[in-house]
Structure 1
């Protein structure tokens, strides 16, 4: 089973649907309003069974090397997830993430992003990693900037969100050559 230890408190690990689904669903449900504002998929996640189905799906994708979706554990408790996916032939991929409201503001996601960058460049031999963040999503933009990602530009009217409007997204990237410095 894949696991990446960040420090004595934080770890990334492949989800175990039987062990993690209930807690992850509860975290999403408790933070639903703030998560689904930027990640519309959360509105369709209505039960632990939905989360089990999702976790099984991402584990299949991991086995096929199509994506890496891992649970973020803080003191052995799930607090969110982070993924590296949309692998392209030019050795690039995207990082996406969500974190429970109670875990925000403590550097957890910053550390998780740095770990995922390390995994992407070392284990997946990527040359470029991207993060897209809604212009208005200050937290996600801060995470990308703090992790050393460079703002390349703004993707206009890039995603349709649950408010029925198309939102602009900032596109950040980090290159292998920048990471190795």
Structure 2
């Protein structure tokens, strides 16, 4: 297991292991304030009905982190919790991980998520020895697709009717970033 409590992306942007009792209320508030638009692309939103649900989720992801099954991190921007980013699962045989992410509504459109994605990629390639990192996003999720592009991911194709959302199945774009591509990108930054 990687011993990590927080990772500094920039002077005002950190990714941190969740503290369930301390972070749950603020994360739940961000979700509650934007539940309508978030549920369009994040079907798990409907399962969080109270702060305790978020606290239980955070406790479970920390168990998964300890078992090296996933890595869920709270995004801190200017000393405020603004969202989460994760490696939803690790394919240990192939050294591959899938990224998932969300931001509170008022924090979108400021480049925060693109930087957070680059930050978790640094963790994945440097600390977890990943070979490939994947982002999947519904084809009509313009914001998420834009993050993948801005972070330097390569569009590989479309997975037809691959993601079940609240209104049915959606096509998904699949993007990836390989270690050697990351090495080129990170040298430029």
TM-score category (smaller protein): over 0.9
The structure 1 residue matched to 2:52, chosen from 45, 49, 52, is 49
What TM-score do the two structures reach when normalised by structure 1? 0.98
Alignment of 1:7-86 (within 5 A): 7-86=10-89
Alignment of 1:142-153 (within 5 A): 142-153=146-157
Aligned to 2:142: 138
The structure 2 residue matched to 1:108, chosen from 101, 108, 112, is 112
CA drift at 1:34? 1.5
Tell me, in whole angstroms, the C-alpha distance in 2 between the residues paired with 1:137 and 1:20. Answer: 27
Tell me, in whole angstroms, the C-alpha distance in 1 between the residues paired with 2:46 and 2:146. Answer: 24
Cα distance per residue 1:129-164 (max 9 Å; x no partner)? 00000000000000000000000000000011111x
Contact 2:71 2:89 in 1 (8 A): no
Structure 2 residues without counterparts, runs of 5 or longer = 185-189
Aligned to 1:162: 166
After TM superposition, which residue ranges in structure 1, 4 or more long, deviate above 6 angstroms?
none
CA drift at 1:2? 1.6
The structure 1 residue matched to 2:90, chosen from 87, 90, 94, is 87
Tell me, in whole angstroms, the C-alpha distance in 1 between the residues paired with 2:136 and 2:161. Answer: 13
Aligned CA RMSD, in angstroms, stands at 0.8
Tell me, in whole angstroms, the C-alpha distance in 2 between the residues paired with 1:154 and 1:148. Answer: 18
Tell me, in whole angstroms, the C-alpha distance in 2 between the residues paired with 1:134 and 1:102. Answer: 22
- What is the aligned length? 180
Mean CA deviation greater in 1-10 or 73-82: 1-10
Tell me, in whole angstroms, the C-alpha distance in 2 between the residues paired with 1:86 and 1:6. Answer: 22
